[in-house]
């Protein structure tokens, strides 16, 4: 660990500096988002015919594709992010405190991207409010898509509350060093703040974290999101209880990878070697390895259930899955990542942050590919596979590919903006690192031997 003493000035640095590199990244991200918005405008003008999608069945297409695949992937990143942060608070994993807020912001970013995808995917986005909200009291009883919208909204509220509450402490204490031009925002954020609330907020945050941890497997990414697919008997590639754990493992893998990349970016940009330490990266990498192992285990279960002995529809779906070159690449990437994580666990000198970044990117690519494929697979090998045009064909159009650039840019912009407004590392984390935090005596996870 670095001998440098973490200070308030460290976490204020992103807010009070303005570099060329920042503008460069901001510019690239803005162009990326703008490019997609223009493309989306074209899609709105022409209709969804500009995508590579089509009607499954006699039509020989795929009803859903990259948009929905990327949607569940972003939801996964978001859910994983908040689970990570909640685990840090709930289980007292204090060494990850410096990245807890980054994980929470990842959640907000992921949910924004996912929400954007819902709108982009619709044939009539203009009716979102009237049609969905207007019939909510009826549809919430049966439609998994409405359950989805419900839990995503609940999650957004939960995450935003969580983030908002913890920010009050920091903003109040660091107010003098924060830029005056955002004064109205700070005022709203800290409205009615007194020092006596700190303890109450701590408790509230703890309960929110508890709610997140309990809801994650039961209702969120381990439940409602996979139910969008797993409950449909018509698509054997999707059905089955394994999808719950599978989705949750993917969510956590994606989120941890995302947080590793984002943390690395901030550490590099603002010299935070002594705040986001190597130790954090090593720890995150081990957790990534753990969830990767779970993911591969669930994949094995899902595929093996199909290929051993029927039923026929399940067998066809499973056979098509393992025969698909992209599936093999995705699983290969993830498996190779697991091997590296395992080996560097045994021989610590094999660890480097660059390698951790490579592994994180590999895992993110792998999970995104798996997600998009998973969505398409359903339509390629349905239960009723009599049609000559089934399996059909689907290849994402340029606009669909561009949506990945656009949503990634959206998340990057969110971070770039937030980092100028509030500290992305908690004040608590700094206090803890300095050893002057009131809760520092709580049980902490044993640190990984480096």
Partner 1 sequence: MSTDDESFHPLGDEWEDELETMLDDTEYDSDLGMEMAQDAMRVTKGELSEAEFHEKHHEAVMEEFGEDERPTKEAYEAAQEEAKGTASRMLDAFDGDGGETRRETMKKMGVGAAAVGMGAFGSTRDGPMESLSAEGGHSETTEHSDTQWGMTIDLERCDGCLTCMSACTQENDLDAGVNWMYVMAWEDELHEGHEEGTDTGVYSSDFNMGSDFNMLVRPCQHCTDAPCEKVCPTTARHTRDKDGLVLTDYDVCIGCRYCQVACPYGVNYFQWDEPHTDYEDIDGYEDPENPDQITHAEYEYGERWVDSRAPRGVMSKCTMCPSMQDGKQGEEKIGTSACESACPPNAIQFGNVKDEKSDPYQHREHPSKSRAVIRLSGEHTDSRGGIPSPETIDGTLSSDDDMESALEKFENLDQETLSIMKAVQLVSDRTEPGDEENNSILRKEQKVVAAVDAFEQYVDLETDEAITQLQLGDGSERQARFRIQQYTGKPNSFKLLEDVGTNPNVTYLGEQPGPEAEQVEGPTKYEDIEVLADKRQDILDEETVGGIDGGSL
Tell me which residues touch partner 1 (CB under 8 A): 39, 42, 46-65, 121-125, 127-128, 131-132, 134-135, 138-139, 142-146, 149, 232-235, 312-313, 326, 372-373, 376, 378-379, 382-384, 386-390, 392-399, 401
CB of 64 or CB of 335, closer to partner 1: 64
Q: How far is the CB of 47 from partner 1 (least distance, A)?
A: 4
What is the 3 state secondary structure string of 377-417?
HHHHCCCCCCCCCCCCCCCCCHHHHHHHHHHHHHHHHHHHH
Tokens of 411: 């998340």
Closer Cβ to partner 1, 279 or 319, answer by number: 319
CB of 394 to partner 1, least distance (A): 5
Which DSSP string corresponds to 294-341?
HHHHHHHHHHHHHHSS--HHHHHHHHHHHH-HHHHHHHHHHHHHHHHH
CB of 381 to partner 1, least distance (A): 12
402 versus 413: smaller Cβ distance to partner 1? 402
Exposed / middle / buried, residue 257 (Cβ in 10 Å: 0-12, 13-18, 19+): buried
Residue 442 backbone class (left: φ over 0; alpha: ψ -120 to 50; beta: rest): beta
What 3-state DSSP class applies to 146? helix
CB of 401 to partner 1, least distance (A): 8
- Work out how close the CB of 115 gets to partner 1 at its nearest, in angstroms, rounded to a whole number: 14
Shortest Cβ 201–partner 1 spacing (Å): 36
Residue number with CB closer to partner 1 (40 or 340):
40
77 neighbors 388 (Cβ within 8 angstroms): no
Least distance between partner 1 and beta carbon 360 (Å): 24
Instruction: Give the C-alpha separation, 150 to 159, whole Å.
Output: 14
Give whichever of 7 and 139 is closer to partner 1, judged by the CB atom: 139
Nearer to partner 1, 7 or 143 (CB): 143
Given CA atoms 178, 179, 182, 184 in this order, what sign does their dihedral have? positive
Q: Select 218 or 234, whichever has its Cβ closest to partner 1.
A: 234
């Amino acid at each position: 660990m670095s001998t440098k003493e973490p200070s308030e000035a460290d976490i204020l640095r992103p807010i009070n500096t303005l570099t060329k590199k920042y503008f460069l990244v901001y510019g690239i991200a803005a162009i990326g988002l703008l490019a997609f918005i223009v493309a989306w405008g074209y899609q709105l003008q022409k209709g969804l015919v500009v995508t590579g999608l089509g009607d499954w069945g006699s039509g020989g297409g795929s009803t859903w594709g990259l948009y929905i695949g990327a949607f569940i992937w972003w939801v996964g990143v978001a859910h994983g992010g908040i689970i990570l942060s909640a685990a840090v608070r709930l289980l007292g994993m204090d060494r990850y405190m410096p990245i807890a807020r980054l994980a929470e912001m990842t959640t907000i970013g992921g949910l924004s991207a996912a929400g954007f995808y819902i709108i982009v995917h619709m044939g009539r986005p203009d009716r979102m409010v009237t049609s969905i909200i207007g019939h909510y009291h009826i549809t919430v009883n049966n439609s998994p898509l409405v359950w989805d919208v419900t839990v995503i909204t609940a999650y957004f509220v939960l995450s935003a509350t969580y983030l908002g509450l913890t920010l009050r402490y920091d903003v109040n204490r660091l107010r003098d060093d924060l830029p005056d031009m955002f004064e109205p925002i700070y005022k709203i954020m800290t409205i009615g703040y007194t020092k006596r609330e700190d303890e109450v907020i701590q408790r509230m945050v703890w309960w929110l974290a508890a709610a997140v941890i309990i809801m994650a497997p039961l209702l969120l990414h381990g439940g409602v999101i996979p139910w969008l697919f797993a409950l449909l008997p018509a698509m054997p590639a999707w059905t089955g209880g394994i999808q719950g754990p599978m989705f949750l493992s993917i969510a956590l893998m994606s989120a941890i990878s995302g947080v590793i990349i984002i943390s690395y970016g901030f550490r590099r940009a603002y010299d935070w070697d002594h705040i986001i330490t190597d130790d954090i990266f090593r720890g995150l990498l081990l957790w990534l390895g753990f969830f990767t192992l779970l993911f591969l285990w669930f994949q094995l279960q899902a595929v093996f259930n199909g290929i051993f002995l029927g039923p026929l529809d399940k067998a066809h779906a499973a056979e098509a899955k393992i025969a698909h070159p992209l599936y093999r690449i995705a699983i290969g990437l993830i498996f190779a990542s697991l091997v590296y994580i395992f080996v560097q666990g045994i021989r610590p000198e094999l660890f480097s942050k660059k390698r951790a970044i490579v592994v994180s990117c590999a895992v993110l690519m792998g999970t995104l590919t798996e997600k998009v494929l998973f969505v398409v697979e359903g339509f390629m090998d349905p239960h009723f596979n009599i049609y000559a045009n089934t399996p059909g064909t689907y290849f994402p159009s340029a606009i669909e590919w561009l949506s990945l650039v656009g949503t990634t840019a959206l998340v990057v912009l969110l971070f770039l903006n937030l980092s100028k407004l509030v500290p992305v590392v908690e004040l608590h984390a700094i206090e803890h690192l300095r050893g002057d935090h009131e809760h520092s005596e709580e049980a902490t996870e044993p640190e990984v031997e480096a």
